[in-house]
Structure 1
């Protein structure tokens, strides 16, 4: 076959118009299955290279000389499909081979092709259809092998498209046409699709690269086309279930193109704010995207390769969502409370056979769901297994990628997940902390993940058992020149060494507090926190707040501030909950038994995870529901309220103001009947509700099954032995002696609860027996 194909190509060069030769070449190409392709490429590489370059030259010639010949058109179509198969063949064919075969040998060929395009007057000319498919293949090639530098010939091609098509008034005209709610099918000409699909597609590959893209600028492109793009989405999302194939193609590649403009080749969505003309329009746009990706027929057509409109549409939209959630304040709370995105994303994550879509879907779920919701969905196991499989494959691959996903992108996606308690425990159970330790040598972002994971007790033990890693942390603490990394190192060491529990309080602090209030906040909420600080100081309060972002050992500075303060103001928001530093700060204040006064700063946000666990039944002032002066009045009233340590928490507000301060307790006091179904939050609320505050701090990581195990130990073991063991745990965890009174009350309550469960179980069994007996009598 090799000799035969080689002879055919040689004959083609001599008699290019021979129908017999063209037909035989077509047959050879069509016979190459996925399994046969590697050997065919190896055996016939030189002949294939000649054929590919001959075809490029043909496309640059006067198309009228060959476009009417059916055999030529069939050869071009067959070679297009062959090349597409080659691009997506991931095994046994080197990337260099693919680039050699598929890229034209010089820029002159590209220029000749564009000259031919400019001569075309027929908007449905077949030459445009052919060249669109050849250019599309180049886009797929670049996307599938994004780790390789872009060829200078591809750069030349993309720059020409940018100058002459993307910035062309014709492109703008086609967008304006698409803004109509009722679009006649006749607008979807071959020329229109060349502009909106092919040119957008290729230029997107260029702007996603790390190259200097001057004179093109992402913000200028978004300012030029962003408004039209939003109009197109808002005009058509209602009718997504009846889109034509052509409209799907246009919207898919516009979403992909606009998403690329927002990133502009960087790790963050730099220019996404430009797409927000007003909050209502942007939120409707988000709703529109949700409805688009909610179309179930799109889910069914997702493929394992990035090679069809449905896969590209879902992938690009999820990437856009992920970037928006990281960049736009309040968006995650809006999506969580006002949309059904979580249901759609969960369906996509479980159904998708394209790994990057699954990765983005899980990342979005981590952003928009509370810790409790993630636990209820019972998907943390799937998320963890999926992520670690992909990460390990990437870590051991020479390109440091898996399925085209680079390690930094994987780590960024897991960073949010790492704040979730269930994910932390799963990481500990799978013993994967060593993977992050290894990766941290090359990717510093892994230290951020390790810091988040180090709030888990089992993770702490695993990290401490690695003497090499502990020595590395100690060395970095002293020698690291990167200020941000040093802060992370201090944070990890704080969690591992439990320095807060054995700190010696200075005489200055023990004699009297320096500050009335410490304000604990996320720096993303700095504007309103500065206003609160100024109002509090006007009212005579001595307030500590970090405006300048402390340098040096931030954990020691934080601890000193807490030790010198009487109260701590917890400024609750999504960003606050996600901050490792804020978590450490709030937890240390809890350990030091400062009066905690929570306030809510973010609309739609409901405290969850460790933050909900920490504030328990405390009341909070909602700054999102009242004008700032009124909210400050309520805050000052709460600051003046005495600390009540009895079971029932009360406030000093008058009856008309009682609704202005929100309590988290009503919903949390409804405990599942079965103790095995209790979460950590349920256990905390039960302990605090029973006025077992030391036990609440000692058993901070207990859930229902853990509490049940403790009950069995208490009832079946010697009380003195249990008390001695708890005393050791209390000294280790809290640096306090165990309260005998609290232990006695805990023992009584647990025994009572166990007996009550036994009685209910017996009654239930008796009722079942009675029901069976009653049914037998009826029969």
Structure 2
């Protein structure tokens, strides 16, 4: 007689003949467990639960036990344990992941091989055995997605290799893809075997794709060639009728999209994979539109959870991951900028999604794709920084270094795109969060890149200078680290803080300059820059470019190159604008009053943010508008034109002040006119800086003397409360800063002093 305790019932499972009564009593016990009681149950009966899990793997793997599946009670027990395991994965955070892995994974590879053999041998396309085995492999995939470092287990790797070799690359998989490529799908195509191939196998490989070539017998490019074209066709056909998707089609679409997103992020690199699947710009844009159409289906959004435990959340998460891969690897950010529907759809998703990973990725996409002005125009622009730092602070203080399973390094990577925007830098300064990031550098070197990006902000520079231990650490790393990426970021921070900068010559250009031209560019634009370099050297120009001449401290090497060059060609592109090094290089070139010749290298790109502010009204050579030979001739004319107006821009205080640089424009204008009405916008800009009104110089860009007087009259004659509120909103919108009342008061005082020389027209006095 078997007792009623769980421990006794589990032991009875290993008997040669197990009664249905034992199985039913086990099912009853498991059914009584809630999420709360399950935790104490597993902790108290861990060894018995482990024994139960091993018994179920044994049932699945031993062919002679296959007959038990004819017993409906056994089938119910399998489903009960499947449900328990999913709860274990997503809800029982108090149980350590090693214990979870021990409970979930089979005891040996022989067991999984036996299960696969039975799947391969069955001639029944709707075999219950296949359905149950699929659920068990699904749970392994769920666990690995939530805990990626377990994909390195030998069992996990073995499963990956087997599934890719025997299912993903099989002819049968292609047959199932062909079936899904039809516009009108019959329910009968969704057999158990078909779902095992398309859902389970795709899902499992996606969970392990981070291992790259270490886990698979095929490269990412080979898998894309096998699956990519049919994948795009399937998405394109079915994105138009999401409302009609069956549960089975939803599952197939979910795991195909996740599978392809995983391949795009293969081994943490995305360039080659993205180029393999998206051969033309039009194909990329069409696919983006298809994916956004799926995201825009509101009933899907309403079913989102705070984790990936259902297909709806996994689907949206996979789509957003794919869009992030596209904006990182493809030159189509212009499409996101021009398409307000995409922007609004992504923002609406971020507002309703309870899954923070999706929100983080959406903000990362927008931060990378949109211009500074577009980002400042988003209604969430004032809350993005708070959203990020709330997650980061909780993750940093948690023993697992995660926030809701989002690791610290993922959070930092997501914020890196955002922090290139000056208004985000200012928000970070206002929240005084730079100290959190400097602490994180102790364990996560990626944070140095983030601190470097933020250190272009004047207030953050001041906050960093007060952090003596961090400055001392930077100095040590600059001299001792062998990691080139860390050293470059460290030297960049020190450069922005004007620490350890070598003494450089004055802005006067001497006859001893070694180079006629320096080319300042992003390494992602190397190909075209190399062509420009070759053409310039062919015409006997002495050209400095860093692919063959930069060594040691790259910041000092950059400064020396600029000091020794008469003209600086700035090669403008999105990557240039987003590069910390390029920003420092461009600022220094303007500071040293070198002759600047901007050239545009990227189709659809328009300079924005700090780059737009620096080049001002300078004309640029457009290499995207003309053929290379024609563009080169235009460039040669610019270089040879001795009469061209040279406008240099000099940062008035350090690299920047506030949200963006305060720059004094050096021009060939005549002496300052006494009458304020005759002041040009350039003179007003310099006048504001000379009087240390840095914020006003950024806020009142392009204001001439007449505009200044109108501005002053509006402040004095308007309703004070409403006027200040409007100015505050405009200041935040334009430059991402709170209005300085001290600067405003000083500005009014200075204008009143200058007004004695001005006489506004009568019509103006009555406005």
TM over 0.5: yes
- 8 Å contact kept, 1:63–1:127: no
The secondary structure found in structure 1 opposite 2:34 is coil
User: 2 CA distance for matches of 1:162 and 1:484?
Assistant: 35
229-238 vs 534-543, which deviates more? 534-543
Query: Following TM superposition, by how much is the alpha carbon of 1:55 offset from its aligned partner in structure 2, in angstroms?
Result: 2.0
Matched, 1:702 2:695: yes
- 8 Å contact kept, 1:680–1:702: no
Given the superposition, is the C-alpha separation of residues 392 and 178 from structure 1 closer, same or farther in structure 2, using an over 3 Å criterion?
same
- 8 Å contact kept, 2:601–2:624: yes
| Residue 613 of structure 1: aligned partner | 613
User: 2 CA distance for matches of 1:701 and 1:173?
Assistant: 66
User: 2 CA distance for matches of 1:760 and 1:348?
Assistant: 51
Map residues 149-228 of structure 1 onto 2, 5 A cutoff: 150-209=152-211, 212-228=214-230
Given the superposition, is the C-alpha separation of residues 707 and 80 from structure 1 closer, same or farther in structure 2, using an over 3 Å criterion?
same
Query: Following TM superposition, by how much is the alpha carbon of 1:506 offset from its aligned partner in structure 2, in angstroms?
Result: 9.3
| Residue 241 of structure 1: aligned partner | 243
| Residue 323 of structure 2: aligned partner | 321
Query: Following TM superposition, by how much is the alpha carbon of 1:363 offset from its aligned partner in structure 2, in angstroms?
Result: 0.8
Could you state the TM-score of these two structures normalised by the residue count of structure 1? 0.81
Map residues 416-565 of structure 1 onto 2, 5 A cutoff: 416-497=417-498, 503-505=504-506, 509-511=509-511, 515-537=515-537, 541-548=541-548, 550-565=550-565
Given the superposition, is the C-alpha separation of residues 682 and 188 from structure 1 closer, same or farther in structure 2, using an over 3 Å criterion?
farther
* CA deviations over 1:209-245 (Å, ceiling 9, x no partner): 4782253332322222222222222333233333222
Aligned length: 701
- 8 Å contact kept, 1:276–1:282: yes
| Residue 55 of structure 2: aligned partner | 54
Query: Following TM superposition, by how much is the alpha carbon of 1:269 offset from its aligned partner in structure 2, in angstroms?
Result: 5.8
**After the TM superposition, which segments of 4 or more aligned residues of structure 1 sit over 6 Å from their partners?**
498-502, 678-688, 696-700, 704-712, 743-746, 749-753, 759-764
Q: Gaps (5+ residues) in structure 1?
A: 647-677, 717-742, 765-779
* CA deviations over 1:669-720 (Å, ceiling 9, x no partner): xxxxxxxxx99699999997343454476679625897799999xx99xxxx
Map residues 25-64 of structure 1 onto 2, 5 A cutoff: 25-60=26-61, 61-62=63-64
- 8 Å contact kept, 1:158–1:202: yes
Could you state the TM-score of these two structures normalised by the residue count of structure 2? 0.82
* CA deviations over 1:551-588 (Å, ceiling 9, x no partner): 11322332233334443322211011011111112112
| Residue 143 of structure 1: aligned partner | 145
| Residue 407 of structure 1: aligned partner | 408
* CA deviations over 1:183-231 (Å, ceiling 9, x no partner): 3332111110001111111222233247822533323222222222222
Map residues 77-156 of structure 1 onto 2, 5 A cutoff: 77-148=79-150, 150-156=152-158
636-645 vs 679-688, which deviates more? 679-688
Map residues 282-301 of structure 1 onto 2, 5 A cutoff: 282-301=284-303
User: 1 CA distance for matches of 2:255 and 2:169?
Assistant: 16
- 8 Å contact kept, 2:693–2:747: no
| Residue 386 of structure 1: aligned partner | 387
Given the superposition, is the C-alpha separation of residues 749 and 631 from structure 1 closer, same or farther in structure 2, using an over 3 Å criterion?
farther
| Alignment match of 1:689 (pick from 665, 673, 681) | 681
Higher relative contact order (CA 8 A, sep 6+): 2
Given the superposition, is the C-alpha separation of residues 180 and 149 from structure 1 closer, same or farther in structure 2, using an over 3 Å criterion?
closer
The secondary structure found in structure 1 opposite 2:36 is coil
| Residue 740 of structure 2: aligned partner | none
User: 2 CA distance for matches of 1:752 and 1:346?
Assistant: 47
| Residue 670 of structure 1: aligned partner | none
Given the superposition, is the C-alpha separation of residues 696 and 280 from structure 1 closer, same or farther in structure 2, using an over 3 Å criterion?
farther
Given the superposition, is the C-alpha separation of residues 50 and 218 from structure 1 closer, same or farther in structure 2, using an over 3 Å criterion?
same
| Residue 582 of structure 1: aligned partner | 582
- 8 Å contact kept, 1:263–1:270: no
Map residues 641-680 of structure 1 onto 2, 5 A cutoff: 642-644=643-645
The secondary structure found in structure 2 opposite 1:147 is helix
* CA deviations over 1:6-55 (Å, ceiling 9, x no partner): 34334555586534333332222111111111111122323322322222
Matched, 1:310 2:309: no
Q: How well do the aligned residues superpose, as a CA RMSD in angstroms? A: 3.8
- 8 Å contact kept, 2:518–2:568: yes
User: 1 CA distance for matches of 2:549 and 2:235?
Assistant: 41
Query: Following TM superposition, by how much is the alpha carbon of 1:364 offset from its aligned partner in structure 2, in angstroms?
Result: 0.6
Q: Gaps (5+ residues) in structure 2?
A: 648-657, 666-677, 702-707, 717-745
Query: Following TM superposition, by how much is the alpha carbon of 1:149 offset from its aligned partner in structure 2, in angstroms?
Result: 5.9
Given the superposition, is the C-alpha separation of residues 311 and 37 from structure 1 closer, same or farther in structure 2, using an over 3 Å criterion?
same
Map residues 338-353 of structure 1 onto 2, 5 A cutoff: 338=339, 340-353=341-354
604-613 vs 516-525, which deviates more? 516-525
User: 2 CA distance for matches of 1:579 and 1:154?
Assistant: 38
456-465 vs 425-434, which deviates more? 425-434
Given the superposition, is the C-alpha separation of residues 187 and 403 from structure 1 closer, same or farther in structure 2, using an over 3 Å criterion?
same
* CA deviations over 1:610-659 (Å, ceiling 9, x no partner): 1111122333232212222332333344442734489xxxxxxxxxxxxx
Query: Following TM superposition, by how much is the alpha carbon of 1:155 offset from its aligned partner in structure 2, in angstroms?
Result: 3.2
| Residue 76 of structure 1: aligned partner | 78
- 8 Å contact kept, 2:254–2:314: yes
Given the superposition, is the C-alpha separation of residues 558 and 211 from structure 1 closer, same or farther in structure 2, using an over 3 Å criterion?
closer
